[in-house]
Structure 1
C-alpha cells in the first residue's frame, strides 16, 4: 500500500493509541496506520532516518494525527520541522490532543496545522470525532497533487 493512503499516528499514550485504532476500525477506516510514540520518531519516519533509514521518504502518509504533548520532540516542534521542509510542508496534519489551551490552538495553526481537534474524554464522542476526521480528511478533502 502506498503512503498516500497511510495514516501516521503520533501518540505517546498507549491508551489513546488503542482508542484511536479502535475508533478508526469502528468507523471502517481501513487505511494502514503507522504508530510512532514520540516527536523524534515521527520526524525519523517522515525523513527516513534512524530506525527508518531505507524507507522511501517520498512515500508520505495521507494524514498525520499529531498529539502536542510528546516526549523528546514536542508536537509543535514536529509541526515546525515538517512545515520548514519542502518534502513535507503540504502534509495534512490534524492536531489531536487533550489540550484546550488557546495558546496551543493558536500556536498549532501558526505552525501550519490543517486542523485542531480536542480529544473528547468519553469513547463514544471520541469514536464519532475520529469518524468525522477520517471521512473529511481521507475522503472529502482534495489535497494538492504532487506534494
Structure 2
C-alpha cells in the first residue's frame, strides 16, 4: 500500500458473471466512481463465463481473469456448474472465485453442493456499500497475491 492508502500493483482483470444488467452496470459504475484501476469484464451466463476463462470463441483474445465474481443464480449453465469446473480443472483452479450471495444462506447452498468458493460476499444494495464491496474485492485479491508470493 502506498502512503495515500492506495495499492501499488498492476491492475487486475476481474470477470463478473452476473445475469442482471442493472447489477452489472451498478458494479461497473461504482468501480469507476471509486477510481479503481482494475478492468471489469462482464458476462451474463455460465456458458460465456467458461468460454471467457478458457479464452475460447469470441473471448479468445481476452485476458485470463485474475479473479472471478460469480452470481450462482444463472440462466442456462448453473453457477454451481461453473464453480465446479473452475475448482476441478487444474489449469483454472488457481483463479480465485468469489461467490456473490444475496443472503447468508447463499454460501450454505453452495457448500450443500459439495463445492467451496475462495470467498463469499453479500451483494450490497446501497451505493456506499457497493464501493466498500469493491474495495473488499481488491483487498481479497491483494491478500491472495501476497499469500502466493510468500
Normalising by the residue count of structure 2, what TM-score does the alignment of the two structures yield? 0.79
Which protein shows a greater Rg?
A: 2
Gaps of 5+ in 1: none
**Larger RCO: Structure 1 or Structure 2 (Cα < 8 Å, ≥ 6 residues apart)?**
1
1:70-93 per-position Cα deviation (integer Å, ceiling 9, x unaligned): 111111110101111111011111
Question: Which digits, 9 at most, give the CA deviation of each residue in 1:120-144, with x for residues without a partner?
Answer: 222222221222222x123343253
What CA distance in whole angstroms lies between the structure 1 residues aligned with 2:116 and 2:72?
Answer: 13
SS in 2 for 1:35: strand
What is the Cα-based RMSD across aligned positions, in Å? 2.4
Alignment partner for residue 91 of structure 1, among 92, 95, 104? 95
TM-score, normalization: structure 1? 0.80
Q: Which residue, 10, 31, 44 being the options, matches 2:17?
A: 10
How far 1:51 moved relative to its partner?
2.7
Unaligned runs of 5+ in 2: 1-10
Count of residue correspondences: 138
Structure 1 consecutive aligned stretches of length 4 or more whose deviation exceeds 4 Å: none
Paired position in structure 2 for 1:82: 86
1:138 is matched with which residue: 121, 136, 141? 141
Judged with a 3 Å threshold, the aligned counterparts in structure 2 of structure 1 residues 91 and 107 are, in CA distance, closer, same or farther, namely: farther
